[in-house]
Amino acid sequence: MSEEETKVEAATEAAANNDAPMTEEAAPKKTGMKKWPIVVGVVVVVLIAAGAGFWVWHEQPSFCNAICHTPMDPYLPTYEAEPGQPSVDKWGNEVADASSMMAATHRAQEGTTCMGCHVPSLGEQISEGANWITGSYVYPLEERDLDQLTEARGLEGEQFCLNEACHNMTRDDLAGMTEDMDYNPHVSQHGEIDCSECHKAHRASVDYCTQCHTESKLPAGWLTSAEANKLQGA
């Protein structure tokens, strides 16, 4: 075979090789399609982490204070107050000892958050959110009794405090715990009295008995009924 024929044959073979379909091994691999599960997985993890973080924040007083700052601003200091130290109540009145405010003592002793006591239904949260957005609320917020606080959950008022998660006892148990007091506040000789008549979360608690028994000894920071009635905002 001449040199010229050899060159022609080589050129023909090269052209044939270029036109031939690429084999499976030679074909470039498409890696883009294999990346999307990783991307989706990362997005899902981020969303779950963000959702979990938001839910934890949702149960903190800072959430209430940040989202509904106008009506809730005065409540945060009553929660963050240190028992045994002076503080202020939700109306700005001086409190001699923050241990008289249940919000402060429950936080300090049990680490209780807002949602630990206030367990709203979904309907309540939607309603309150709508009222805040539209400005349809009274400011300062009106003080609610236990029946109002538990109404949406279909519970009796006293179950706000007397329940398995908090004070797992009966009124009789309470009366037994305070039977050594001069005036046992948990004996219902004057009829059933709501816990919230004495125990206040965001202001100094009040000795209901002092309406008649003015000589009754007060716990630290507590007020007599007469003193409570003079509070600004009461």
Distance CA 112, CA 114 (A): 7
- Decide if 29 is inside a domain: no
Q: Is the pLDDT of residue 233 over 60?
A: yes
The pLDDT assigned to 123 comes to 79
- Decide if 76 is inside a domain: yes
pLDDT band at 128 (very low <50, low <70, confident <90, very high): confident
Q: Is the pLDDT of residue 42 over 60?
A: yes
Buried b (16+ CB within 10 A) or exposed e, 206-231: bbbbbeeeeebebeebbbbbeebeeb
pTM recorded for the entire structure: 0.69
Q: Is the pLDDT of residue 48 over 80?
A: no
Query: How buried is residue 165: exposed, middle or buried, by Cβ count under 10 Å (0-12/13-18/19+)?
Result: exposed
Count other C-beta atoms under 10 Å from residue 133's C-beta: 9
Domain count, the chain: 1
Q: Is the pLDDT of residue 57 over 80?
A: no
- Decide if 20 is inside a domain: no
Ramachandran assignment for 134, one of left (phi > 0), alpha (psi -120 to 50 degrees), beta (any other): alpha
The pLDDT assigned to 169 comes to 93
Distance CA 180, CA 162 (A): 21
E-only strand ranges, the chain: 87-88, 94-95, 206-207, 223-224
Q: Is the pLDDT of residue 52 over 60?
A: yes
Contact of 74 with 127, CB cutoff 8 Å: no
- Decide if 216 is inside a domain: yes
Q: What is the mean pLDDT of residues 172-180?
A: 92
132 compared with 200, residue with greater pLDDT: 200
- Decide if 105 is inside a domain: yes
- Decide if 234 is inside a domain: no
Helix, strand or coil for residue 148? Answer: helix
Q: Is the pLDDT of residue 195 over 80?
A: yes
Q: What is the DSSP letter of 197?
A: G
Return the bridge partners of 207, or none: 224
Contact of 181 with 173, CB cutoff 8 Å: no
Question: Domain range holding 208?
Answer: 43-143+189-229
Distance CA 206, CA 193 (A): 13
pLDDT band at 24 (very low <50, low <70, confident <90, very high): very low
Distance CA 123, CA 213 (A): 43
Q: Is the pLDDT of residue 200 over 90?
A: yes
The pLDDT assigned to 59 comes to 61
| Span of 7-21, 134-148, 169-183, 219-233 with lowest mean pLDDT | 7-21
6 compared with 148, residue with greater pLDDT: 148
Q: What is the mean pLDDT of residues 161-184?
A: 90
- Decide if 151 is inside a domain: no
| Span of 49-53, 95-99, 193-197 with lowest mean pLDDT | 49-53
- Decide if 113 is inside a domain: yes
Q: What is the mean pLDDT of residues 143-163?
A: 87
